[in-house]
Structure 1
Amino acid sequence: MSSETTAAQPTVTVLDYGSGNVRSAVRALERAGAAVTLSAKADDVLNADGLVVPGVGAFGSVMDELKNVDALRMIGRRVAGGRAVLGICVGMQVLFDASVEHGNHREGMGEWPGTVELLPADVVPHMGWNTIKAPEGSKLFEGVENERFYFVHSYGVQKWDFEVLQPKMRPPMVTWSEHGAPFIAAVENGPLCATQFHPEKSGDAGARLLRNWVASLRPAAPAPATAPAAG
């Protein structure tokens, strides 16, 4: 790979805070065109073009591990500064207000309204491929609106009640899926995006979604020079 091509790659940090299964996310993001670093160092987390927050296991444990590496503050700084963040699985759930997993109430980051609750399905966990219903105009799901994605979870956010506080504020785009009841499968909210499913395990559809996200990190192309008007 030439130095010119390398320099043009968006940089992505995958947050290394103790969550399992991060290597597959690193490889998938590299295939999507990013220069990827696995790290929890502040410089890497704050200065990358994009930050990916993976998550497997229990909501409370993930919150504790994020606090241990000061990730909650760093994620908050990125979001406040309009810097891209992508949460995956429990990395999405912790962005909501709270969880009642296993009957224990735990506070989340509160970026979005909603409580993570047990899916009311005959069989949990919800494990395997499922369809999604993406909103019109979704950039994250462009080209894969009708594809299936791979889920592994027993809990999810089943209600969305987002109040637009400013007239010019664009409400988040919410993608839904269903297992026993509708639940939120993804959110696109300016620089902050997240998926309940695992794009790194979702084959070609997940690869396209990650390419869409990585492509959004690239700086806008300079406007073409305007030719001088004829005299």
Structure 2
Amino acid sequence: MAKEVQNSRTGEIKRTAEDLVEFLNRVRRGSGAPNEEIIGFAKLFNDDLPLDNISRIKNDDKLIQGEGVESLSEAELRQGCRERGMLGVLSVEEMRQQLQDWIDLSLNHRVPSSLSILSRAFIVSGKLKPEDAVRATLSSLPDEVVNTIVVTALPSEDPVSERRRKLDYLKMQEELIKEEEEEEKEKEELERMKESKARKAKEQARARSLEK
């Protein structure tokens, strides 16, 4: 395990980026973890973190709200739940309810994504203890969220590794920006096509009325 440094003033353990990566690898393999370790890492995912910069998910929330959760297929529900860090082994009705709850918090109550993600841990039908539910949630967090925490909230033991992580993070952000720009262009193109078809239909209707 990566070396941990104790804060002499507070007695708390200072965790590093390597600690978080190693912890997530363990819990994703199904290994156990001490409660204090689980809670220690859970505290990193707080309301102060800029997780709402994942605007793609926010935009997706708006689209789903407009179309209705009931319109999503099982595959779309599973993907939507996974992208939001929810446990994936659920029935269609459970996934639909969890996704609806997420959208209600995200859009209607404007709850930050960080809090919404962590709240999933405590909505597992009471089948898990709180600490086990937190561990399950942390293990299923989207890579985008984990990368954000690794780069913005934790120091690294190795300066070279830290620079590499920051470069990878910037590259990921650039790719997300490009995706959003492409989606925006596609929307604009689709809008132009709709307007063009509407004009054409109006012109044809006008031409037919003149022929009569």
Shared fold, TM over 0.5: no
Greater radius of gyration (CA): 2
TM-score (norm 2): 0.24
Identify which of structures 1 and 2 has the higher relative contact order when contacts are C-alpha pairs closer than 8 Å and 6+ apart: 2
Q: Which has the higher helix share?
A: 2
Q: Which has the higher strand share?
A: 1
TM-score (norm 1): 0.23
